Structure formats: C-alpha cells, structure tokens
Amino acid sequence: MPPRLFARLRDDVIPGARSKGIDVLVSAAYHSRGDDWGMVTNPSTG
C-alpha cells in the first residue's frame, strides 16, 4: 500500500467511519491479492 494512502486511511477515513458508527476492523496481518481471490471466486462466501 502506498504510504500516502495508508496515512489517509489511518488519519482520515477510518476515524471518520468510526465517528459515524461504522465498525472498522484493521488487520495487522499481511494479505496478498491471492488471499482475496478465494473470496471473490468462492460462491459460498457471503
């Protein structure tokens, strides 16, 4: 993730969402595009 995008998420987007009552979960674990591919292609995923 580009550093400026990360900073914007950390400083603006996530706090703004939380202030509006949106539950935002941030994972410190590494996720690759391959991790997301299974969710996109698996029809049993909600």
Burial degree of 37 (CB within 10 A; 0-12, 13-18, 19+): exposed
Q: Give tens-digit pLDDT for 5-45.
A: 888 988 999 999 999 999 888 776 666 665 555 555 555 65
Q: Round to whole Å and give the CA distance between 4 and 13.
A: 12
Whether 6 is in a domain gets the answer yes
Q: Which two tokens stand for residue 16?
A: 């703004």
Give the count of domains, the chain. 1
Whether 44 is in a domain gets the answer no
Whether 1 is in a domain gets the answer yes
pTM of the model: 0.52
How far does CA 12 lie from the centroid of its chain? 14
Nearest 5°: the CA angle 27, 8, 23 is 45
Whether 14 is in a domain gets the answer yes
Whether 40 is in a domain gets the answer no
Residue 3, pLDDT above cutoff 60: yes
Whether 21 is in a domain gets the answer yes
